[in-house]
Structure 1
Amino acid sequence: MKKRDTNKTFRTHSLSSEEYDTEDGRMLRRCEELIPVNKCEGTCFSQVQPSVATVSGFLKECNCCRESQLQERSVVLSKCFDPDGIPLKGEDGRMQLDIKEPTDCKCFKCNEIL
């Protein structure tokens, strides 16, 4: 009997991002915020069985929980710090990011590129 796949979209709450100098690569600031953002989580049916038809001697069927639909969203991280951990104020104290978050999740073959 094949086990049932279970996939859900959950809310996670922590985002962070770092900004680096394009010339010397040093970190300029790190920003974070508690923002509800969707993530995929679940289980998918996978199996390995003996096979004389494959070089490895096994037939592998691997499925993974992944996003099936994404939405774009703009968020603001309002807790920014310099490389020494000192809080930044004004424009440097905020960072706007455009992110993609899942709106639906499904099982896909593990090596499948979406």
Structure 2
Amino acid sequence: MSYMHSVGLILVYAICFVLSKGASQSRRHPQCQAVTTVIKISQEVYEQDTKRTMFCRGSANVTSCEGTCKSRMIPKVSSPLGFTKVCKCCRENRLRIKKVELRKCYTEDKVLIPNERYTVDIREPESCSCSTCG
């Protein structure tokens, strides 16, 4: 076996090892997807008719975008920087409005107001995908 042949085999082995490492890492970090998470919401509300300020709070299950997307940098002689970047980010395709009822409302003195509720609109992703960053 010649020296050049040995170097070529080592190089092929190294490339295959790096590629297999990248493939196993992408299995550990899932692709971009919509996931459900719980958020806490606090809202200060001023009621015109009663001229009072109240503070309402609650929690809600909302959708968010999570996961990894493939990005890369490609050497390019004709580019002023010498390379081209192709960046992808996990983000929403479309948003939807979700109504959330805040069920605990308090006076400015922190006294619970019985049976008081306040509804807020939250924008959340309807679906997610890997898209151009920016």
TM-score range, shorter chain: 0.5 to 0.7
1:50/1:82 Cα in 2 relative to 1: closer, same or farther (>3 Å)?
farther
User: C-alpha displacement at 1:72, in angstroms?
Assistant: 1.8
> Aligned partners of 2:112, 2:133: CA distance in 1, in Å?
42
- Decide which moves more: 34-43 or 1-10: 1-10
Q: Does 1:34 align with 2:59?
A: yes
Structure 2, unmatched stretches of 5+, are 1-18, 47-52
**Residue 95 of structure 1: aligned partner:** 118
Residues 16-53 of structure 1, C-alpha deviation per residue, up to 9 Å, x if partnerless? 244488xxxxxx66543221111111111101132222
Q: Give the alignment partner of residue 73 of structure 2, picking from 44, 48, 52.
A: 48
**Residue pair 2:88, 2:131 contacting (<8 A) in 1 also:** yes
Q: Between Structure 1 and Structure 2, which shows a larger proportion of helix residues?
A: 2
Instruction: Report how far residue 70 of structure 1 moved.
Output: 2.4
Ranges of 4+ aligned residues in structure 1 off by more than 6 Å: 1-5
Identity of aligned residues (%): 35
Label 1:109 to 1:30 Cα distance change in 2 as closer, same or farther (>3 A): farther
Choose which of 50, 60, 65 in structure 1 pairs with 2:85.
Answer: 60
| CA–CA separation in structure 1 for the residues paired with 2:106 and 2:75 | 54
Amino acid at match of 1:89: I
Residues 59-89 of structure 1, C-alpha deviation per residue, up to 9 Å, x if partnerless? Answer: 10000111113222211122346788x3552
Task: Kindly name which structure, 1 or 2, has the bigger radius of gyration based on alpha carbons.
Answer: 2
Residues 78 and 66 of structure 1, relative CA distance in 2, 3 Å threshold: same
Kindly indicate whether residue 112 of structure 2 is the aligned counterpart of residue 76 of structure 1. Answer: no
Match of 2:5 in 1: none
- How well do the aligned residues superpose, as a CA RMSD in angstroms? 3.0
> What is the total number of aligned residue pairs between the two structures?
103
